[in-house]
Chain A
Amino acid sequence: MTVTNSLLAKLISRQASCRMVFGAVIFALSFGLMGAAKLQAAEVNIYSHRQQFLLQPFLDAFTSETGIKTNVVYASKGLAQRLQAEGEASPADVILTVDIARLSEYADLDLLAPVSSDVLNANIPGHLRAADNRWFAFSTRTRIIVTSKERVAEGAISDLEDLADPQWSRRLCSRKGSHVYNRSLMASVIAAHGEAVATQWGEGLVANMARRPQGNDRAQAKAIFEGQCDIAVMNHYYYGKMLHSEKAEHRDWANAIRLVFTNQDNRGAHVNISGGGVAKHSPNRDAAVQFLEFLTKPTAQQLYGEINFEYPVNPAVSPGGVLQSFGDFKRDELAIEKLAELAPAAQKIIDRIGW
């Protein structure tokens, strides 16, 4: 470093106009070094696809229980590539994400370490964790159909397959098909009926659209409230969030819709997960495992229900009062990895039908 410094000093004294450049470069480099020197013990570093404000209550509870500090980077996409580029030098300990397709991207890229933990094994049912213990689910969500209370009779629609029925022509709305939630939904239909039938179903669905697919799940409830359409699909927790929102208009949207758990007389409702794992090169492995275990314990499992209206994975923890008020429902028993496996095929169908 001293050699470099004296070299820099020489260069700087030689050329006045270069002085600023080198000063700035040194400044930038020292920032970089600062970042690299940050690692300490009793910390857990989290790469998260969930926003910080959703995560914060869990982090606070974890720190107050264990004294372990948490550091977070939140990003919606590309964290797997960051982890990959960082390789051995990565500071990341824990990966948190939603949707099995994103979770298995990490597994496919070999970025997760197997974890053998009796606590995790006891708290998470076998079908909600990877066979090789690289990823674990911490909560589940189901994608439901919602209908206008005013304009669609109760029981008029019950299965996902019904969405393609021509009787609902120009009455459907949805977010874009290529969103990960809809992609997984399509994957579940492929798993149930095969690609040909799924394509036909998708074509019928698109033909029934009242407007071009747009907005997020919540925006679909709003569209039903405003009378732009009568039927939509959404993740169930949006209903809970709107129903218990501080904003009066969100409660209005929720009150305008009826919730339909799909396919109750056959395979059950499509279920997806939020989950995570320990990074392959985690520098604080013990703390990382402790954090995952914490997420499956009753305190955290109840938080999932209270904060985001998601279902706990731990069978010993009962869903909160709000979730119970939605009623019990039958779940699709499909092995959850299948959804990730079929995602590329689902995206191709979505491209073809223009959802």
Chain B
Amino acid sequence: MVATFLSSWAHVRRRRSDGWSIGALVLCFLLVGPVLALVLTATGSSDGLWGHLLDTVLFRYIGNTLGLMLGVGILACFFGVTTAWVVTRYEFPGRLVFEWMLLLPAAIPAYIVAFTYTDFFEFAGPVQSQLRMMFGWAQPSEYWFPEIRSLGGAILVMASVLYPYIYMVTRIAFRLTPASLFEIALVHHKSQFRDVGLPLARPAIAAGLALVLMEVVSDFGTVEYFAVETLTLGIFNVWLGMNNIVAAAQISLVGFVFILSLLGLELYARSRQRFSSTTSKTNKLQPLVLRGRGQALCLAICCLPLVFGFFIPVGVLLKFVLTGQAWANLVAVAGVVTGSVSVAILAALLVMVISTLIVLAATYRGGDMLRRMAMLASTGYAVPGTMLAIGVLIFAGAIDRIYAGLVGDGRASLLLGGLGILIVAYLVRFQAVGYGAVISGIRRLPDNMMGASRVLGNGFAGSLQRVILPLLRGSIMAGGLLVFVDVLKELPMTLLLRPFDFETLATYTYQFAKDEMLEEAAFPALMIVISGLLPVILMNHMLRRTD
């Protein structure tokens, strides 16, 4: 009798655990589907195009892509980590404002920043005009000024708007580091930053950096505008110029492999390190009060990325709005804002729910297989948007055909042509953002947390609800916020997959920006920033209350 009870209990337990893992696995497969569709496309024949590419452009593409990744990676890490450290560890005037302001550059699409930088730094722009006036130069040949439309320019632009991905997760990591560890460092005359803060924040920094690099590999707008020949630019030359979508899919997988190998490298390097503390709630980290030079340094560290990522671009946009006739389309833009924001909220909610489920199942239930799948499911971010959109189209087309077969109506469609496909596309693309936020949160939790809760009589779901989820709340909200601004500014997928007459702020801005009509594009572009502003402030307020 007892034996029967025990065995059925074990059976039920196994089944329930399977339910979680299988659910997560199914979700992962759905998220990987569009990427798989691209991989399948890439298996076709590329008509010997690789010989030509190898002979001519491939190494240039790869060199530029790697250069861009390296440059943006270093600069974004510098911006993100230093600011995160300063606002959590020190007390200085304006700290609470910087705390949320530093997130704002994330709300500006990189290609818009590229436009504004060109306007600001080019020959006729205010910087060079001022220099010419000061030194009495007249002709461009009389002096040297760095070309903004270059690899260096692209690095500056992208790092300035992408560093918040690192800042956001790193700040949470710094904040959750137990104060006692810093005290130990003080006692032993070790650097609080180098010997305690940085190593403990490494998973978070890596997660943020992964997002930044994926964004770099998949960017098209900025590199096209600055004419930097990266792999993404090559994809479009091959696809649209040579009518060879197979080779285009193959090139996009090259960028994908870059990212996967980087992720693998980081995982390997970290495989034997575990940092977690069971005493994180015992005493709270108090910011150190600074004076004089220290304060000035903190201010400088916080202002630098803000100037590049926010004040210059927003200033140029404002100039266009105030001098142009941008107010004329106020009514049109107001309608677009509503649609834009609702879609972004919906997508952010869905992404966070799905990525939390997947991470929880992979961490506490699944084996290595599920963990790898979970990582794979969050790589849609590394594929250029338009190519991923094509993957989504192929994938959704297949689902629709099955659906049409079931219903018996060839014209029936479940996903294509509606908002559904757009939401699916956002899930596939921004799963990486949700996954990164949740995984960096969960890695900080002590291994024995779940065990302790189970011993105290909570079930698995109960433990999640009562113990694990409350501890992950900050990370989940941070991820949701990033997804929200990401969707708000997402362009290539929205452009291609949207239903008839559906505009988001990004697509509305783009129709003007495409022809470099900056005056017309400035107002909707500014609205993207403003729409991102409120949730950033709100979320920051909630984050502050969580600890």
Contact = CB atoms under 8 A, between A and B. Distances in A.
Interface of A: 15-17, 20-21, 24-25, 27-29, 31-36, 38, 45, 51-53, 71-79, 81-82, 84-91, 102, 105, 108, 176, 178, 180, 183, 211-216, 218-219, 222, 226-228, 246-247, 283, 343-344, 346-348, 350-352, 354
How big is the B interface, by class? 35 or more
B397 A86 contact: yes
B413 A76 contact: no
Contact of B413 (A72, A73, A86): A86
Contacts of A354: 57, 60
23 contacts: A16-B465, A17-B464, A21-B353, A28-B423, A28-B424, A36-B417, A38-B499, A51-B511, A51-B514, A72-B501, A75-B496, A76-B495, A77-B236, A77-B496, A78-B496, A79-B496, A85-B397, A86-B416, A86-B417, A228-B140, A344-B243, A348-B56, A354-B60
A214 B418 contact: no
A237 to B, nearest CB: 11
A180 B496 contact: no
Contacts of B349: 20, 24
B139 to A, nearest CB: 6
Nearest to B511: A51
Nearest to B324: A247
Interface stretch (B174-182, B280-288, B404-412, B441-449): B404-412
Given A51-B511, A53-B511, A176-B227, A82 B243 contact: no
Contact of A214 (B149, B394, B495, B507): B149
A127 to B, nearest CB: 22
Interface string B24-60: 0000000000000000000000000000110111001
Contacts of A21: 353-354, 357
Contacts of B515: 51, 216, 218
Contacts of A84: 393, 397
A35 B516 contact: no
A216 to B, nearest CB: 5
B511 A226 contact: no
Given A21-B353, A24-B350, A31 B123 contact: no
A102 to B, nearest CB: 8
A211 B346 CA distance: 46
Interface string B488-520: 000000011111110000010001101110010
B352 to A, nearest CB: 10
B40 to A, nearest CB: 13
Nearest to B392: A85
Nearest to A351: B56
B176 to A, nearest CB: 24
The residue among A21, A29, A78, A86 with the most chain B CB atoms within 10 A of its own CB is A78
B363 to A, nearest CB: 15
Nearest to B244: A344
B241 A344 contact: yes
A91 B501 CA distance: 13
B22 interface: no
A226 B226 CA distance: 19
Nearest to A36: B413
Contacts of B226: 214
B245 interface: yes
A32 B511 contact: no
A27 B394 CA distance: 23
Given A85-B416, A283-B411, A351 B353 contact: no
Given A78-B386, A89-B416, A228-B123, A178 B237 contact: yes
B43 to A, nearest CB: 17
Interface in B393-442: 393-394, 396-397, 400-401, 404, 410-421, 423-424
